[in-house]
Amino acid sequence: MIPFFAVDLNLTPLSIAAILISGVSFLVMFGIASAKGGFQELVETTLKNDAAQRNKPNNRK
């Protein structure tokens, strides 16, 4: 089934390899980031900044 997509999109073997390598790399990096939990700090900071903006008096008219 995969070769059909490659033929229809006119992809060279090098293009297919680049797509596969980048896709697998993304999944590996996402798995590492999820395992370490580093994104939790980003979410907490974003929510904290959002709450600060909502509680800020609105000076626009």
What is the mean pLDDT for each group of 10 consecutive residues in the chain (61 residues)? Answer: 63 88 93 77 86 78 47
- Quote the DSSP letter at residue 11: -
> Are residues 16 and 6 in contact, defined by beta-carbon separation less than 8 angstroms?
yes
End-to-end CA distance of the chain: 59
Q: Which two tokens stand for residue 4?
A: 């059909």
At 58, give phi and psi (nearest 5°). -90, 115
In this prediction the pTM is 0.51
Cβ pair 39, 33 in contact under 8 A? yes
pLDDT for residue 61: 47
Task: Return the residue matching tokens 């697998």.
Answer: 24
